[in-house]
Amino acid sequence: MAQDGHGGVWLAANGPAPAYQWRFYHFHAGHWAVRAAPAAAGTSLLDVTGLTWIPRTHSLWATANLTPTGHPNQIIGATLRYGP
């Protein structure tokens, strides 16, 4: 979980079944917004391991692990940026 710098919070979670796709959840002003977590082209998002707000922005960074398409046993550490 991470603050958004504007009175709200960001969460990362995977679900719902059966796809278990990683998503970012943003709570602000009493409302939830849900966005698919980004992944680089040619990869799948394995997991999100941390979130942090980028000060003076509406954006966040997330640490994550990706798997290249066609190579499910290979894991690539990544830092993702989400937001404007």
Q: Where are the domains of the chain?
A: 2-82
Give the full edge-to-edge strand order of the sheet including 76-82.
43-53, 60-68, 76-82
Structure tokens at 79: 């830092």
Q: Are 84 and 59 in contact (CB under 8 A)?
A: yes
pLDDT in tens, 47-82: 999 999 888 887 889 999 999 999 989 999 999 887
User: Considering only CA atoms, which of 17, 16, 13 is closest in space to residue 26?
Assistant: 13
Residue positions counted in the chain: 84
- Round to whole Å and give the CA distance between 40 and 4: 23
Q: What is the mean pLDDT of the chain?
A: 88
Q: Which residue has the higher pLDDT, 38 or 31?
A: 31
What is the arithmetic mean of pLDDT over 18-33? 89
